[in-house]
Structure 1
Amino acid sequence: MEQTFLMVKPDGVQRGLVGEIISRFERRGFKLVAAKFERLPDARVMEHYAEHVQKPFFPGLKAYITSGPCFLMVFAGKNIVKISRDMIGATNPAGAAPGTIRGDLALEIGMNVIHGSDSVETAAREIGIHFKPEELASYTRIDEQYLYE
């Protein structure tokens, strides 16, 4: 099973959307294997967004992502990286389809509620930044036999 990293950003936390977002992934059949609630330290923000550090928008991004607590998660499931990206919707909520998290819950590109890994490789990197291996739970959901062929 693939794993992906998801993060409810400070605007999603402040708006009380954590439960709804978790629920969408669980109802879809994905398994929550790790979670934590915290304000991200600068060092991890720099590592997580390393490809953006030199870009002109980074100071604003850093100020926003450290402005309050985030809810960090690892979910597991078949094809979860692609499916979760589809569930999240376009980065700019103005172009996100209705029914997606951003299409239903966000209005601005700068405050778009959630981050999700964009590839299996990125997911592994981001999970490694935010979680120790021993923080990931291994278990079988009772309904897995009804989810996968």
Structure 2
Amino acid sequence: MATEKTFAIVKPDAVEKNHIGAILALIEKNGLKIRALRMMHMSRPIAEGFYHVHKARPFFGELVEFMTRGPCVVMVLEGENAIAKWRELMGATDPAKAAEGTVRKLYGANVGENATHGSDGPDTAKFEIGWFFPGYDV
């Protein structure tokens, strides 16, 4: 299996609750390498562009408000089967349905405030990494 890269976000809710270090430790403990990382406060245009695929959905406005309310941590992760590995480590979107020991079970509050984001496939990872790390070699 080839090494691949994926994109991840520690969302504002987890940053507000000081869970950055614990989430980064879980990432490393589970064999993923952090290749790029920065803390930022998303502007409305950045959040709207990043989540453009959800623009027609009823939760779009609420999602943009949430993602712009405070700082988040954006990063590139790398490892064997990194996309699937990170998605498994994140857990189900709804923390109440997430497996024990996953990031969302440990640090998420609900479907809207679920601590993390991760790319769902190679094309999405390439777009998302490029959105926040222009010129980064995916």
Where on the TM-score scale, by shorter chain, does this alignment land: which range? over 0.9
Q: Deviations over 1:114-139 (max 9, x none)?
A: 001111111111001010225x7xxx
Q: Which residue of 2 aligns with 1:62?
A: 64
Residue 35 (structure 1) aligned with residue 40 (structure 2): no
Aligned length: 135
Report % sequence identity: 38
Q: Which residue of 1 aligns with 2:23?
A: 21
TM-aligned CA deviation for residue 107 of structure 1: 2.4
DSSP-derived class of the 2:76 partner: strand
DSSP-derived class of the 1:40 partner: coil
Larger-Rg structure = 1
Equivalent residues in 2 for 1:123-142 (5 A)? Answer: 123-134=125-136
Alpha-carbon RMSD: 1.2
Distance in 2 (alpha carbons) for counterparts of 1:107 and 1:26 = 23
Q: Which residue of 2 aligns with 1:99?
A: 101
Runs of 4+, deviation exceeding 4 Å: none
TM-aligned CA deviation for residue 56 of structure 1: 1.3
Distance in 2 (alpha carbons) for counterparts of 1:133 and 1:29 = 25
Distance in 2 (alpha carbons) for counterparts of 1:76 and 1:122 = 15
TM-aligned CA deviation for residue 72 of structure 1: 0.4
The TM-score with structure 1 as length reference comes to 0.86
Structure 1 letter corresponding to 2:59: F
Gaps of 5+ in 2: none
Distance in 2 (alpha carbons) for counterparts of 1:129 and 1:73 = 11
Q: Which residue of 1 aligns with 2:73?
A: 71
Q: Deviations over 1:29-83 (max 9, x none)?
A: 2111101111112222122111111211111111110000010010111101001
Distance in 1 (alpha carbons) for counterparts of 2:30 and 2:91 = 15
Distance in 2 (alpha carbons) for counterparts of 1:20 and 1:96 = 17
Q: Deviations over 1:86-105 (max 9, x none)?
A: 00000011110111111122
